[in-house]
Amino acid sequence: MPVSMDTLADDLAAESAVLRELLAPLDDDAWRRDTPAAGWRIAEQVSHLAYFDDVAVQSATDPDAFVAERERIEADGGIDPDTVADRFRDLTGAQLLPWFDEARDRLIASFRGLEPSLRVPWFGPPMSAASSLTARIMETWAHGQDVADTLGVVRSPSPRLRHVAHIGIGARKYSYAVNEIALPEVPIRVELDAPDGSAWTWGPDDAPDRVTGPALDFCLAVTQRRHRDDTTLTITGPAATEWMTIAQAFAGAAGTGRKAGEFSGGNA
């Protein structure tokens, strides 16, 4: 089935609404609460999303300007999310929420009418417009998880998790590259229990290396919001075990993830 930018845009809008519902009631003290990501408060989670929404819009609408800015950043040592977060630490919740709203509206409006296959530059290899928008869904869900964990909120899994899982599986090669480990020439079968009770599958059905279990737990693991030991995933085979030790759905340096036992399991 062809990729629909309208469907992706609608899914991003829906995921954004879930996060916004958590953010809207917060007072400024709550915006300053530390999240499970070391050194990041709720404020930094949101400024990260807003900043990279603006950058994604530039990559699609003015790629030459994006490339010029990327070259400047690379000459200065490369993109560093912590450095970006530090730039906006003085912003209040009353400033951050409108920025997030406006940046997200621009992003959705800019990408909705693009051809899914259009190549847009990014930090690393170019990607399709569809992949860029899918990445924003993944990022929103993952950073939203940090906010939900901080507030003690359990979010209901949605079919949008398929986007997160798909990116996590597609990023297997990247996970090895960023950790400077050779990628084994071994296929992996992934079988996930979707929120609606159906099954989502990737990879050859006869592959001995396998990852099976709830889609939610898989997404928590590949976005490094849970240690694999704090999920109910069944991981079989050395290649699958190695991958799930370093799995990383997001771009940038190798993530440090979460410690085993930091959460009791799943989304709790």
Structure tokens at 161: 């998790």
E strands of 111-198, at which residues?
119-122, 124-128, 189-193
Instruction: Tell which wins on pLDDT, 109 or 266.
Output: 109
Q: What is the pTM of this model?
A: 0.95
Main-chain phi, psi angles of 258, to 5 degrees: -120, 155
In the chain, the percentage of residues whose pLDDT exceeds 70 is 97
**Residue 175 to residues 43, 138, 223, 253: CA-CA distances in angstroms?**
27, 16, 11, 10
Q: What is the number of alpha carbons within 13 Å of residue 17 lying toward its C-beta?
A: 9
To which H or E segment does residue 212 belong?
strand 210-214
pLDDT for the residue numbered 77: 86
Among the residue ranges 21-25, 76-80, 117-121, 128-132, the one predicted with the least confidence is: 76-80
For residue 246, the one-letter residue type is I
Q: Which domains does the chain have, with CATH numbers?
A: 5-154 (1.20.120.450), 162-246 (3.30.1050)
**Residue 41, strand partner residues:** 34
Residues 107 and 58 sit within 8 Å (Cβ to Cβ) = no
Nearest CA to 159 out of 219, 205, 110 is that of 219
Is 268's pLDDT higher than 60?
no
Burial zone of 20 (CB within 10 Å; 0-12 exposed, 13-18 middle, 19+ buried): middle
70-108 pLDDT, tens digit each: 999 999 988 889 999 999 999 999 999 999 999 999 999
Residues 116 and 5 sit within 8 Å (Cβ to Cβ) = yes
